[in-house]
Structure 1
Amino acid sequence: MKKIDLDTYPRRALFDAFISLDIPTYSITCQVDITSFRTIQATLDCGFFVPFSYLLSRAINAVPEFRHRLIDGDIYEFERIDPSYTVLQDDRTFSFCDSRHFDAFVEYRDHAQRQIQAAREHPVCDDKEKHNSFFITNLPWLNFTSITHPFNRKYASIPIISVGRFCLHGDRVLIPIGLQCHHALVDGIHIGDFFGRLGELCSDPADVLGLC
């Protein structure tokens, strides 16, 4: 990771405007068209979540502002951020699961499946250092229109992605995606960049997943 010089940081005025707010985070939910992705995903043997979380990881890593973190009052940029999931347990509780971003889907899939299985066998709910992560919470029961999350101020700069229940709208399959982030680091234009990139990845999943 590298430290960002606040004296030359182009968002310095915006950083100062939002950093001291009582609630500096905000959340936006958008419907994402996953019609092409669903067609391809149905032919895979790894379910929905793992390949879709790969697209989320690709999209969020593509926008530098989502790799920025507040650490002891300074801004740092990570070269790569890794996904951390919620995993449902048999007793209807959930565990946290730390995974890793890989550029190649096959590597991502294999690592994610191992980590998810380990989280099911040995549930973890501790709050540890995760500045180089982003969070994904999976809510396949809810076709939500908005969502917010509690946050620890120490980790408030870590983005949280929420994945809801996909539904058929005419001939299209849409899914709600919520994104919570810290306004001292991320503006609406950057959220637009994320959703734009995610839309591109979802529109050509065969190539993105290395299936052609």
Structure 2
Amino acid sequence: MPQQIDLEHYPRKALFLAFKDREVPVFSTTCEIDISALKCFLDARDDGFFVPLSYLISLAVNAVPALRQRIIDGEPWEFEQVDPGYTVLLDDETFSFCDSLHLQPYARYRDHARARIAAVRSQPELGTGRKDQLFFISNLPWFSFTAITHPFSRSYASIPIVSVGRYQEHAGGWRLPVALQVHHALVDGLHVGRFYTRLTQLCAAPQDWLD
């Protein structure tokens, strides 16, 4: 269950009030992450790419308290943990939403994620109810990008959206474009930077998290 943030003692009170009702309250950034060690590690295993990557993304998101905060009924709340929800490509070239869980260790996460992906492929889900306990991952392996934005509704605007594109070879290594869309009432560039820093650290030492 989330805990309501005491707005009167919230260090971001002025920023929260300044941005929460903006017509476009979100901003998006894109950063290329070095995934050379991660790709080498996964190439030696039969584990796919997206599921282990999504686990590292989930670890990075949960490591930043601001990315676990949501605006619910106009007030700031913070979850102790948030879970990933991601897009899954279907056989008819449409996609489904797939709500998952942030489980640890990785083996538990992987098994649950694979089961959920299989389930939504047989019975797609496009539910748009309240999903404040989630953050979203959009998987776009067909192309790289330098910027991306997503549609949002007022009820979903404070839910972070992580997008990952096609990785590319660079200077003998591999880089992956990762975008993060966030609500400016809750999240600043400082917090976004902490997310990218943590994700970079996790991708540099995959054996510590994926074994």
What TM bracket, shorter-length normalisation?
A: over 0.9
* Deviation at residue 19 of structure 1 after TM alignment: 1.3
Q: Name structure 1 gaps, 5 residues minimum.
A: none
CA distance in 2: counterparts of 1:207 and 1:22, whole angstroms: 42
TM-score scaled by length of structure 2: 0.98
Give 2:81's aligned residue.
80
* Deviation at residue 43 of structure 1 after TM alignment: 2.1
* Deviation at residue 187 of structure 1 after TM alignment: 0.3
CA distance in 2: counterparts of 1:20 and 1:106, whole angstroms: 41
Q: Does 1:101 align with 2:98?
A: no
CA distance in 1: counterparts of 2:42 and 2:51, whole angstroms: 10
Q: Does 1:92 align with 2:93?
A: yes
CA distance in 1: counterparts of 2:167 and 2:130, whole angstroms: 32
Give 2:6's aligned residue.
5
How many residues are paired up?
Answer: 210
Report the aligned-residue RMSD.
0.7
Contact 1:58–1:103, Cα closer than 8 Å, also in 2: no
Q: Which amino acid aligns with 1:130?
A: K
CA distance in 1: counterparts of 2:203 and 2:29, whole angstroms: 19
Q: Within 5 Å, give how 1:115-130 maps onto structure 2.
A: 115-130=116-131
Q: Within 5 Å, give how 1:1-212 maps onto structure 2.
A: 1-209=2-210, 211=211
Relative to structure 2, which stretch is displaced further, 106-115 or 44-53? 44-53
CA distance in 2: counterparts of 1:197 and 1:24, whole angstroms: 25
Identity of aligned residues (%): 53
TM-score scaled by length of structure 1: 0.98
Contact 1:136–1:160, Cα closer than 8 Å, also in 2: yes
Q: Name structure 2 gaps, 5 residues minimum.
A: none
What is the CA deviation profile of residues 166-192 of structure 1, one whole-angstrom value per residue up to 9, with x for unaligned ones?
000121100000100000000000000
Give the secondary-structure state (helix, strand or coil) at the position aligned to 1:57: helix
What is the CA deviation profile of residues 140-193 of structure 1, one whole-angstrom value per residue up to 9, with x for unaligned ones?
011000000000111100000001000001211000001000000000000000
CA distance in 1: counterparts of 2:111 and 2:21, whole angstroms: 41
Relative to structure 2, which stretch is displaced further, 110-119 or 121-130? 121-130
CA distance in 1: counterparts of 2:171 and 2:89, whole angstroms: 31
